[in-house]
């Protein structure tokens, strides 16, 4: 999306709370912007309805329903809705902001995808839709553009603005208008506007087809042509474009995109279960699983004889005929029936008996001479029959008789699997146990040989039984260094996620403060654990202490966790006990650092010299040489002699250097 285009909405503050930022996307009903929630100081996505649509009651109502519908869904794979408001006719939604791209972007760059990757992406989408279907909501606009892929790997389904509560009165689209993208609309929604959970299933199946092949199943020059194909043509098998796809993947796509909604999974939860069965088969390298393919293949509706059109049974859509393998007993019976024919057997033509001549006589001497040949006929027939039986038995043994097909038993309990394998003439053995995210505890994860393989009769099928999902507790990582914590997580089959840093007065720099999730939390193998690492003590702002009492200044610095180094110096301007200077004067220090103070001892004290009986000039000179200033005062009865008769302070007293000595002259 070009964010440089002038947009009057950018820079506005909606509802006195949301500062609108750059534009992210634009749709048919609304435009999405990055925005800042000024009240909570967080980034969010703001969906603003296009101008003028707010005047349409239907559109406005549908927009408000988006907030109510999505707010009812609390699911990790659904984009959260925070708020809904109306700013002078501008309707908007505040939603969770998911930085990253969309599934459409990924399809453009990576499709066709491997089936394992495509199903891994579809799994969280179906999980979100399953939660919506359970809450009685349908999305009705499932498409790659509405699947958001976060930068951290999260998958989120967005835009439940077209979702509506499923009730007996609200299954039609408003005013008969079809909502959604035509390439993903189900046939029933196109024909009569009806939608339910199976419509979302159909759209999800189309998305899966597009991921597997890189193309949409139905394309045309116009939306009408595409819609016509959805109604009248089945979605083709993805293997037509990608021949390496297993048959059971084709069956999964066919089941999800069946034109008859009765043949599709009932909702996203059922489709999710089927997707996970296919993922399990792919994870274990199963190339062909006839049983799984048969289970997933859509069934064909058949009306019962004498019933009404609503009396429908469902049978599997299977080939009209399959080749028949005869047992030895069946081969003997077949050969007998064949040789009873007048002309031929299965192994060639037998000699015909010549017709009797006219008159009904059976023959003359020549015929009677050939009668021993006729007696050899049954002998030859017996030989032929024995050869036929031997050939049939040999063919049966070296063909079908010696081998049998391994049944598919994945997801079955060991008891059920053992019974099914035994019924096929094979021995069942539990070879070990393995973790599985999709197969329940005690059920079969995989077999060797896999289901659908031809094996000699009375062979052994070795099975791995599920131990359930592999989970590992988060170890205690506090007080470890980051490197040690990484090693500990690796040993616990977990990984380090995001490492953030925080100040700590008690924990040394580089040491783990805490983990998220907490120690003891059970996680799946390879899950990420976020760590908070200490940056050491937080820096402290140095206060201004010059001129303050040294004792008070020292107490202040120590409360901040700083050390104090004091020296004393005389000062004529700073009172004794006050701070003359400090280093550093300002800035920030770490706890434990030292602030140096220079404390005043007051001015230098000098002994006042004796100047009485000196002339005023000599007394002034003597006092100035001692570092004093001199003030001259005449006594009350001044005679003009110029002799000092008194000094203040008196001789021998200590006075601050630079202070004034007053002399009295007579």
Q: Which of 163-172, 175-184, 225-234, 264-273 has the lowest mean pLDDT?
A: 163-172
φ/ψ (deg, to 5) at 28: -70, -30
- pLDDT exceeds 90 at position 279: yes
pLDDT of residue 137: 85
Rounded CA-CA distance 582/544 in Å is: 8
Q: Where are the beta strands (DSSP E) in 477-611?
A: 495-502, 512-516, 522-524, 528-534, 539-541, 563-570, 579-583, 588-590, 594-602, 605-607
Predicted local distance difference test score (pLDDT) of residue 20: 92
What is the model's pLDDT at position 141? 86
Write the burial class of residue 373 (CB in 10 Å: 0-12 exposed, 13-18 middle, 19+ buried): exposed
pLDDT digits (tens, 9 = 90+) for 317-353: 433 333 333 343 443 343 344 333 333 333 333 333 3
Residue 47: which of 5, 11, 82 has the closest Cα?
82
Is pLDDT above 70 for 372?
A: no
* Structural contact between residues 96 and 144, judged by C-beta atoms closer than 8 angstroms: no
627: pLDDT strictly greater than 70? yes
User: Contact, 395 vs 402, CB < 8 A?
Assistant: no
pTM of the model: 0.47
Rounded to an integer, the average pLDDT of 609-630 is 89
* pLDDT of amino acid 436: 82
Q: Are 66 and 93 in contact (CB under 8 A)?
A: yes
Cβ atoms of 554 and 601 closer than 8 Å: no
Which residue has better confidence, 506 or 275?
275
Q: Which residue has the higher pLDDT, 557 or 342?
A: 557
Q: Quote the pLDDT of residue 229.
A: 92
Cα(50)–Cα(9) distance, integer angstroms:
11
Alpha-carbon distance 445 to 410, whole Å? 6
Provide DSSP, 28-51.
SSEEEEEEEETTTTEEEEEEEEPT
Share of the chain above pLDDT 90, in %: 33
Model pLDDT, residue 318:
39
Point out the least confidently predicted range of 27-31, 176-180, 541-545.
Answer: 176-180
Confidence bin at 553 (pLDDT 50/70/90): very high
Which pLDDT value is given to residue 65? 67
For 570-584, how does the pLDDT look when each residue is reduced to its tens digit (9 = 90+)?
Answer: 888 888 899 999 999
Query: Poorest-confidence range of 204-208, 253-257, 338-342?
Result: 338-342
100-123, pLDDT tens digit by residue? Answer: 888 998 998 888 999 999 999 999
* Catalytically active residues, by annotation: 141
Looking at per-residue pLDDT, the higher value among 306 and 183 belongs to 183
State residue 386's pLDDT score: 75
Res. 207 pLDDT band, cuts 50 70 90: very high
Distance separating alpha carbons of residues 67 and 84, to the nearest angstrom: 6
- Residue 524 pLDDT class (50, 70, 90 cuts): confident
CB 604 within 8 A of CB 659: no
Does residue 32 surpass a pLDDT of 70? yes
Q: Is the pLDDT of residue 150 over 50?
A: yes
How many Cβ atoms from other residues are within 10 Å of residue 130's Cβ? 21
Reported as a single tens digit per residue, the pLDDT across 591-609 is 888 999 999 988 888 889 9
Which range has the worst mean pLDDT, 319-323, 459-463, 540-544, 638-642? 319-323
């Amino acid at each position: 999306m070009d964010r440089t285009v002038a947009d009057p909405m950018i820079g506005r503050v909606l509802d006195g709370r949301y500062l609108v930022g750059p534009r992210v996307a634009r749709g048919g009903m609304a435009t999405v912007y990055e925005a800042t929630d000024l009240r909570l100081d967080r980034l969010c996505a703001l969906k603003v309805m296009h101008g003028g649509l707010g005047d349409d009651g239907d559109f406005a109502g549908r927009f408000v329903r988006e907030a109510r519908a999505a707010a009812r869904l609390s699911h990790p794979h659904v984009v959260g809705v925070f708020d809904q408001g109306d700013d002078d006719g501008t309707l908007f939604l505040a939603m969770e902001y998911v930085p990253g791209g969309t599934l459409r972007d990924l399809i453009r760059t990576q499709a066709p995808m491997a089936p394992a990757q495509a199903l891994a992406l579809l799994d969280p989408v179906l999980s979100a839709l399953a939660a919506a279907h359970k809450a009685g909501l349908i999305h009705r606009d499932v498409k790659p553009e509405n699947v958001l892929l976060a930068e951290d790997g999260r998958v989120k389904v967005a835009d439940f603005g077209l979702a509506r509560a499923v009730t007996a009165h609200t299954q039609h689209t408003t005013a008969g208008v079809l909502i959604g993208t035509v390439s993903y609309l189900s046939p029933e929604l196109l024909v009569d506007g009806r939608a339910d959970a199976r419509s979302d299933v159909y759209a999800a199946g189309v998305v899966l087809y597009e991921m597997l092949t890189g193309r949409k199943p139905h394309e045309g020059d116009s939306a009408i042509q595409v819609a016509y194909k959805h109604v009248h043509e089945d979605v083709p098998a993805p293997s037509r474009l990608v021949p390496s796809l297993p048959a059971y993947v084709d069956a999964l796509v066919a089941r999800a995109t069946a034109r008859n909604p009765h043949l599709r999974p009932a909702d996203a939860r059922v489709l999710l279960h089927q997707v996970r069965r296919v993922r399990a088969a792919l994870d274990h390298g199963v190339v062909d699983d006839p049983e799984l393919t048969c289970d997933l293949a859509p069934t064909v509706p058949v009306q019962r004889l004498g019933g009404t059109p609503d009396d429908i049974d469902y049978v599997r859509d299977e080939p009209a005929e399959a080749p028949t393998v005869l047992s030895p007993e069946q081969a003997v019976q077949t050969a007998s029936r064949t040789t009873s024919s007048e002309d031929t057997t299965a192994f060639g033509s037998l000699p015909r008996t010549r017709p009797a001549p006219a008159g009904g006589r059976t023959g003359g001497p020549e015929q009677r001479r050939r009668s021993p040949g006729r007696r050899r006929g049954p002998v030859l027939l017996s030989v032929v029959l024995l050869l036929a039986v031997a050939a049939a038995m040999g063919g049966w043994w070296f063909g079908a008789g010696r081998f049998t097909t391994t049944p598919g038993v994945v997801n079955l309990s060991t008891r059920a699997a053992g019974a099914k394998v035994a019924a096929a003439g094979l021995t069942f053995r539990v070879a070990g146990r393995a973790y599985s995210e999709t197969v329940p505890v005690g059920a079969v994860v995989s077999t060797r040989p896999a289901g659908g393989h031809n094996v000699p009769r009375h062979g052994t099928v070795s099975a791995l039984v599920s131990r359930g999902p592999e989970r590992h507790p988060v170890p205690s990582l506090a007080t470890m260094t980051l490197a040690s914590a990484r090693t500990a997580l690796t040993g616990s089959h977990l990984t380090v996620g995001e490492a953030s840093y925080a100040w700590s007065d008690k924990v040394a720099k580089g040491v783990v403060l805490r983990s998220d999730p907490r120690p003891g939390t059970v996680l799946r193998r390879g899950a990420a654990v976020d760590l908070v690492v200490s940056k050491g003590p937080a820096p402290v702002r140095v206060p201004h202490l010059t001129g303050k009492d040294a004792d008070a200044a020292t107490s202040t610095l120590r409360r901040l966790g700083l050390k104090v180094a004091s020296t004393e110096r005389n000062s004529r301007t700073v009172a004794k006990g006050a701070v003359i200077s400090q280093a550093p004067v300002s800035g920030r220090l770490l706890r434990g650092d030292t602030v140096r103070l220079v404390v005043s001892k007051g001015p230098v004290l000098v002994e006042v010299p004796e100047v009485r009986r000196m002339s005023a000039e000599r007394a002034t000179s003597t006092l100035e040489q001692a570092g004093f200033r001199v003030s001259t005062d005449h006594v009350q009865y001044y005679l003009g002699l110029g002799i000092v008769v008194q000094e203040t302070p008196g001789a021998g007293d200590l006075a601050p250097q630079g202070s004034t000595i007053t002399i009295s002259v007579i």
